[in-house]
Copies of this chain bind each other. A is one copy, B any other.
Amino acid sequence: MELLKERIRMDGRVKEGNILKVDSFLNHQIDISLLNEIGREFKHLFDGKKITKIVTIEASGIAIACLTAQYFNVPVVFAKKAVSKNIDGDVYTSTIKSYTHGNEYTAMLEKRFLTQNDQVLILDDFLATGKAQLGLLDITKQAGATVAGIGIVIEKGFQGGGDKLRAAGYDLRSLAIIDSMENGTLCFRK
């Protein structure tokens, strides 16, 4: 998606440890017009697929999932990261190791919001090693739901998670795939 790549080139900042910061438009401050175009692009890429629910994980996945869901006319369910009084006992859980935060957390999703009748589109802002996506796939599998596709805004191709998911047979579409970011220079996959 050219509009997105241009924006990453213009406003993205490469930090130590292969961290790409896009917090001026994607995951801290949010450019709603851009996210609407992202939603439209996901609709285009997954058009014709039967999708009953969009699944993501808090926090930055929520914005992408909600704006995209408008094009699919389906509800969003987001997995939660922390134990709270507001989570019932009857939940699917999966343990996820975070590359960004350097810790481990449990993703939780209430059982009544995902069933074997669901055809799921998994959406997220970033895919690197694929740990968060594997957690969501795990939860989807526990629910007996079908994975219709995985949509990612920015894939760090050089970290390999995306290609592993493709090799495993998932219909994974990333709007921008970064194959290297050495010395702060971003190279996008063709």
Please give the residue numbers on chain A whose beta carbons come within 8 Å of chain B beta carbons, in ascending order.
17, 19, 21, 23-24, 27-33, 35-36, 58-60, 62-63, 65-67, 69-70, 73-78, 80-82, 84-86, 100-102, 109-110, 112-113
Contacts and interface: CB of A to CB of B under 8 A. Distances in A.
Identify whether the interface residues of A are mostly helix, strand, loop, or mixed: mixed
A188 to B, nearest CB: 21
Nearest to A79: B28
A113 B28 contact: yes
Contacts of A85: 17, 19, 100-102
Nearest to A84: B101
A110 B23 contact: yes
B32 A80 contact: no
Contacts of A82: 101
Given A23-B86, A36-B70, A85-B19, A30 B102 contact: no
A86 B67 CA distance: 23
A69 B100 contact: no
A81 B105 CA distance: 15
A112 B28 CA distance: 11
Contacts of A84: 100-101
Given A28-B113, A32-B66, 16 more contacts: A28-B110, A30-B62, A30-B75, A30-B76, A30-B77, A32-B69, A32-B70, A32-B74, A33-B73, A58-B59, A59-B59, A62-B62, A62-B66, A66-B66, A82-B101, A85-B102
10 contacts: A27-B86, A28-B78, A29-B77, A30-B66, A32-B69, A33-B73, A58-B58, A63-B66, A66-B66, A85-B101
A143 to B, nearest CB: 13
A82 B103 CA distance: 12
Nearest to A72: B32
